[in-house]
Every structure is written in structure tokens, then in C-alpha cells.
Structure 1
Amino acid sequence: MQYRTLPGTELDVSAICLGTMTFGEQNSEADAHAQLDAATAAGVNFIDTAEMYPVPARAETQGRTEAYVGSWLVKQPRDKVIVATKVAGPNRGMDWIRGGPQLNAAQIVAACDASLARLRTDYIDLYQVHWPARAVPMFGTSQYDPADEKPGMPDLHEQLEALSRLVTAGKVRYLGTSNETAWGVARWGAVADAAGLPRIRTIQNVYNLINRSFETGLVEACHREQVSLLVYSPLAFGLLSGKYVADAPADGRLTRFPAFGSRYRKPFVDEAVAAYAQLALEHGLSPAQLALAFVNSRWFVASTIIGATTLAQLTENIGSSGIRLSAELEAGIEKLYRQYHSPAL
């Protein structure tokens, strides 16, 4: 397993991060602990969760994922595990979270305290804003519309001040964001520098073979601001594993929760997925191995967040960290990219 130091931090994170959003919905507590044990045995030291998990988000299960991680974490040497979690933002429903989550100071502190209690730990290594309070294209949308802005949203200075208090109190070590834009990354840095507050150190955004939008404005912003990319959805909700290519429907999130995966049900997605799957087989790889090895090998990726519902999937996904793409295979990927671009954008 490779390890990479996140710039501006003392965090040496594994190139593979274990995502946990199936814990409490598709995976039981015993399943969750088995995955955590297997991942750490393979060298993974980085765990990602969120207060709203598992998904799909429901009042009955909210917080269960953190609780499952916490019941495992309390039995581990705490300094050997890097734990990341997230505070939910507004405008996505979920009224069962604090009456409707907001990113004001009081709610940020309350959310962190609740996550600490569920995780059964005194501190969170990386605390991330799950999505911005302002209107941004995300979760399957790709165009910014100022008409979507809501009045009264807390600005980044207010959010950062609240987050910095958590750092000062020792509850959080480092800060990150998620589902952000290039403007947002630059603005977080400018606000921090102007006010003498902690900078964000990571961004958790989607990046995969069928959505390479990060490679445009965001990659430059993150490089210049020294913000590390933590990739989520590297398999595009399992599509890039190839399991949905066959005529028979596969068991997975897209079949169990079709509305949840609507961001990937777009023109040319299926054709692109089938083409990448065929390319993988031609080079002796599984489709999942190709998709993950591609993400792992990008110079701007600090860690790839993988999720699995079975130990067999987990083993295959973690094993992708040792795969190196040949020049011929890289050329084949770029040929398909020129043909399909980012159909899931």
C-alpha cells in the first residue's frame, strides 16, 4: 500500500480510503467490522464517513454508519487510524438532521459533537463540509444558475470561524470540503488567509472514467491552493465494475435504489461503460481494476475512496492500488475519452 502526506498536514494517508456509506443499510454492523478489519489488514489507514450516512438518507438510519465505525474504532489504537467525517449542508431535505441542516456556527459545532459521540473518539482527523451552503452544480447537475441561490446562507467566513473553533478546541485536526467548485476552493483559501484561520486541506469530489470534470478548472485551483483531492465514486455507483453491462440486472445500489443513481442514467453512459469494460478485458484486467487503477494513477489524486458490500469486492478494489497502467492501456483510455468525454457530467 502506498501512503501520501496531505500537504499542510501531518496526515500520511493510504492511497486507498475505505468509504462506509453502505454501513447500516446494505451492510450490518458485523459486516462493517469485517470490512474495517480486512481493509486495515491490507494497509488501509484512512476511513471516510459522514453524519448523514448511510445512503439513501433516511431518518430511521441517520448516524448509524458513524456508530458502526465507532464501535469498531473504540477497540483500535486511535493514533493508527485516520478518520474523516462530514457535516451536512442545507437544501437537500433531511429535516430529521437538526430540523434541517444548516452551516451556521451553532449547527456546525452541534454536528461535530454528535459525530464525536457516535464515533466514540475525542477527535476527528479530517472534518469536511459535505456540500456548500450556496447553490453549486453537484450530484448530477452541471450548470450553475444564480436563480438557485437562497437568501440568508452563512458565508464562508462564518463557517470557517466555527470550524476553526473546533480545531482550537482539539476536536478536529484538519479541515476539508466536498462537492466544491474551483471558485469555492480559491475563496476558502482567501478567507482563511485574510482572517488568520485554518485553511482547508482536502476536497472530496467525484472523479471517474465517465466524469473527468475535475481535470478542468478544479485541478489548477487545487494545485495552486495545495488542496488534496480525495476521490469519491471512482466506480460510478458500481457502473464501472461492469456488473450492470450484462442483460440480467445486477444486485447493487442502482437496482435497489434507482432514484439514488439518477445522476448516472444519462445518454451515452452505458455505451461508455461497456467500452471501458471491453478495454479492461482486452488487457487482462477486470473493469473495476481498470477504473480504480486509472484514478489511483492520476498525479492530482491523494486517495481513492472505495466502497463495497462484500469482502470479495473489497479485496479486489484494494488490490487495484498495485496495478500500473501500460502506455498502451493509457492510450486506449484516452481514445475512449475523446470519443465519449464525460457522459456522466
Structure 2
Amino acid sequence: MAVIKGTKFDVFPLNLGGNPFGWTADRDATFEILDAFVAAGGNFVDTADSYSIWAEGNEGGESEREIGAWLKERGRDKLIVATKSGELQGVEGRSREATYKAVEGSLERLGIDQIDIFYYHYDDENVSIDNQIAIANDLIAERKIKHLALSNYTPARLREFFEKSAGTPARPVALQPHYNLLARKEYEENVQPIIDKHGVAVFPYFSLAAGLLTGKYASEEEIAGKQRTGQLEGYVTKEAFEVVDELRAVAKELDAAPTTVALAWLIAHGVTAPIASVSNPEQLTDLMAVKELKLSDAHVARLDKASAPFA
């Protein structure tokens, strides 16, 4: 478990992504997944008001509603809930009006009185950092959110945010960057120094590179003809499969799943809890195993070397 600095939250080292809920996981599957997650020691779920606007027939808010239904039946105290706003139509951007409407919408869908961690999902450069901080301070003072976090901000805007929010309730307690074995350069060069300086928690998205780092695909030919998202296509290169080969080799030596090893590599690099999602409870086993798997320095070095083209 890991305490998020500046909060009272002690989180399991796997942040369960809520994007499948109301999409590839219907209500029954959502309940089964969350029940199994909590039974295995999990306590931290991540969602957004925009999940899952990309699915045909969905308008956003589906994930929050499914989580809210589970919380109503199982109990609010069972989960630390993080959600995000900035993309959902009608409440886009970081203006005061849009942000307040977004928070109210999330609270209603989740069926809770206060959001544990609220992310500014995307920056809005039409709204100054000073104003964004003021909005968050007011949301915290009104007990609509407990803590603020940030995602998808440029390094320059991140630095400004931390400098200007220092000593205020709106100082972010976490960042949610894009980081994995196949996406290292931007994070390690530009974001990690900010995290190290300010001592904030880090919960990366695409921790498993849209599924490529589960090890179930060993070549582009294995993917060909199968339904896949554009997100996965963006990772498919010869160098990426060389990383997957090494990941599978390390996993075999450790008698572990490639999924678990990929997540453990992130934790070895200072990540608090990687975000990963599942569409059925059976897929949770490899995710939850990250709590028990600590990579040796030698194994970390091997994976670092294999993924060096992405650093």
C-alpha cells in the first residue's frame, strides 16, 4: 500500500481504470469486477465524466453511473474514487461554470457527496493557472472535492501550477501522465523531474500500452485481422515487439505474467499505482499480483535496456 502525500489515502498499488464500465462491461460485469477487486484488497478506482463517449450510443457518464450503482449497494467507504472533467460535451474546458457543472454532474452520477480526487483532465489555456487554482480552492472549501490532481498539462503549465498553488488546498496531490515501457521519453525527461521536486503521487494511464504489454501479441501478424483500437495501433512497431519479447522472457524467469511485470517495472520507476482496466474479473488476477512482485535491479536494467529506443 502507498500513502498519497497530502492526503489520508493509503492505496493499493493498482489503480483500477473505470473506462470499461458501461461500455465493454455491463452492470453485472461491473459489479463482478468491483466485487473481485475489493475482495483482493483493491480500494482505488479511476474514472471520468467522459467515459465512454467513444462508444456508439453512449453520451458520457456511463462509467460514473455504474460505479455509483455499485457504491450505493456495497457502501461508499469501500472505494477511493477519482474522476476527471474537461472533455465531456457541455462542460468542456476549465472555466468556473464548466468545472462546477462537471463536478455537480459527477457527484450526481456517482451518488456521493464529495469526490475524493478530482482531476483537471485537460488544461484550458484560455483560463489562467491563477483562475484554475481559485476554482479548485473553492470546490475544496465547499466540500465538493477533497483533493485536486492534474492530467495532460504541458510541463511549463505544470510547473506554474505547482509554484502558484503552493501552500493552498488546491496544490495537486497527483499527476496522471502517459507512461509505460513503450512511452518513456516525454515523461522521464519532462514530467518526472516535476514529480520528484514536488513529491506528488503518479498514476499513469496506458500503463499496458493499450494491451500490447500484456504479452498476448508477439508480432504485428498476430494482431492483423483482429479488432483493435487506434490506441493499440499507435504502439505497433518492430522495436515495440522487441520490448515485448524481453518482457515475456523476464516474466517466464519470474513465473509471472507479462502484465504483472510491466506494471512492476512502473512501480520500480517510482509510480505510485499504475492505472489498468479489465472487462471481466478473471483479468484482475495478473493486475493484482503486482503487489507481491518486486523486480530485481537486474531485471529492471534488462527492461530499461530493451525499451531504450522509447526513452
TM-score, with structure 2 as normaliser: 0.91
Answer yes or no: is 1:276 the counterpart of 2:247.
Answer: yes
Answer yes or no: is 1:170 the counterpart of 2:143.
Answer: yes
Q: In structure 2, how many angstroms separate the alpha carbons of the residues matched to 1:176 and 1:74?
A: 25
Q: Is the 8 A contact 2:13 2:290 kept in 1?
A: no
Instruction: Name the amino acid aligned to 1:230.
Output: F
Q: 2:104 aligns with which of 113, 137, 144?
A: 113
Residue matched to 2:262: 291
Residue matched to 1:101: 92
Residue matched to 2:184: 212
Gaps of 5+ in 2: none
For residues 115-156 of structure 1, what are the alpha-carbon distances to aligned partners after superposition, in whole Å with 9 as ceiling and x for unaligned? 00000111100000112224xxxxxxxxxxxxxxxxxx1112
Question: What secondary structure is seen at the aligned counterpart in 2 of 1:301?
Answer: coil
The aligned length equals: 309
Residue matched to 1:13: 11
Q: In structure 2, how many angstroms separate the alpha carbons of the residues matched to 1:280 and 1:55?
A: 35
Q: In structure 2, how many angstroms separate the alpha carbons of the residues matched to 1:205 and 1:312?
A: 27
Q: In structure 1, how many angstroms separate the alpha carbons of the residues matched to 2:204 and 2:222?
A: 29
For residues 247-288 of structure 1, what are the alpha-carbon distances to aligned partners after superposition, in whole Å with 9 as ceiling and x for unaligned? 44499xxx5453343432456323332332234334433221
Instruction: Name the amino acid aligned to 1:341.
Output: F
When the two chains are superposed, the root-mean-square deviation of aligned CA atoms in Å is: 2.3
Residue matched to 1:259: 230
Q: Hey, which of these two has a bigger chunk of helix by percent?
A: 2
Instruction: Name the amino acid aligned to 2:104.
Output: D
Instruction: Name the amino acid aligned to 1:19.
Output: G
Q: Is the 8 A contact 1:84 1:128 kept in 2?
A: yes
Question: What secondary structure is seen at the aligned counterpart in 2 of 1:75?
Answer: helix
Could you tell me how far 1:83 is from its partner in structure 2? 0.4
Instruction: Name the amino acid aligned to 1:23.
Output: F
Q: Is the 8 A contact 2:201 2:271 kept in 1?
A: yes
Q: Identity of aligned pairs, percent?
A: 28
For residues 188-240 of structure 1, what are the alpha-carbon distances to aligned partners after superposition, in whole Å with 9 as ceiling and x for unaligned? 1122238x552111101121111123222321211212221112211111100
When residues 56 and 242 of structure 1 are mapped into structure 2, their CA distance, relative to the original with a 3 A threshold, is farther
Residue matched to 1:160: 133
Q: 1:131 aligns with which of 116, 122, 129?
A: 122
TM-score, with structure 1 as normaliser: 0.82
Instruction: Name the amino acid aligned to 2:232.
Output: G
Question: What secondary structure is seen at the aligned counterpart in 2 of 1:128?
Answer: strand
Gaps of 5+ in 1: 135-152
Answer yes or no: is 1:333 the counterpart of 2:306.
Answer: no
Q: In structure 1, how many angstroms separate the alpha carbons of the residues matched to 2:224 and 2:266?
A: 24
Q: Is the 8 A contact 1:125 1:172 kept in 2?
A: yes
- Which runs of at least 4 in structure 1 moved beyond 4 Å after TM superposition? none
